[in-house]
């Protein structure tokens, strides 16, 4: 494949990626407006798994993170990564499934 062909094809895919990133950003904006769940319990190390949602009700507005990478599940400050930052169990809660 000629490098110019590669560049042309790459640019097509990059344009698709940009559209998908914009759609994901809109979905996240909608999800961020979700109110704090009625039933929460303190998070434990067992809750630190990829794609888990951890709530931090003490933040200025009820906020949540998605566990993207598990680091040290028992650590109060560095249990997992989300959005390129490390977070811990301190102040983290999980929703009690099946609660009203």
Q: How far apart are CA 87 and CA 56, in angstroms?
A: 11
- Is 39's pLDDT higher than 90? yes
Closest to 92 measured CA to CA, from 59, 70, 68 = 59
Same domain, 15 and 28: yes
Count: domains in the chain: 2
Residue 54's pLDDT band (cuts 50, 70, 90):
very high
How many C-beta neighbours within 10 Å does residue 79 have?
23
Mean pLDDT of 70-99: 93
Same domain, 41 and 85: yes
Q: Which domain holds residue 41?
A: 35-100
Q: What is the predicted pLDDT for the residue at 49?
A: 97
Q: What confidence tens digit (pLDDT) does each residue in 4-37 have?
A: 999 999 999 999 999 999 999 999 999 988 888 9
Task: Check whether residue 100 and residue 67 sit in a common domain.
Answer: yes
Determine the Cα–Cα distance for residues 81 and 88; give it in Å rounded to an integer. Answer: 9
Verdict on whether the full-model pTM lies above 0.95: no
Q: Does one domain contain both 78 and 55?
A: yes
The β-bridge partners of 64 are: 55
């Amino acid at each position: 494949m000629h490098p110019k062909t590669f560049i042309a094809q790459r640019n097509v895919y990059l344009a698709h990626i940009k559209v998908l990133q914009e759609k994901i950003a809109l979905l996240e904006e909608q999800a961020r407006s979700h109110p704090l769940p009625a039933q929460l319990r303190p998070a434990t190390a067992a809750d630190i798994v990829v794609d888990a949602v951890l709530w931090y009700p003490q933040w200025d507005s009820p906020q949540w993170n998605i566990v993207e990478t598990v680091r040290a599940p028992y650590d109060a400050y560095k249990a997992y990564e989300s959005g390129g930052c490390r977070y811990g169990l301190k102040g983290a809660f999980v929703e009690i499934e099946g609660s009203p």
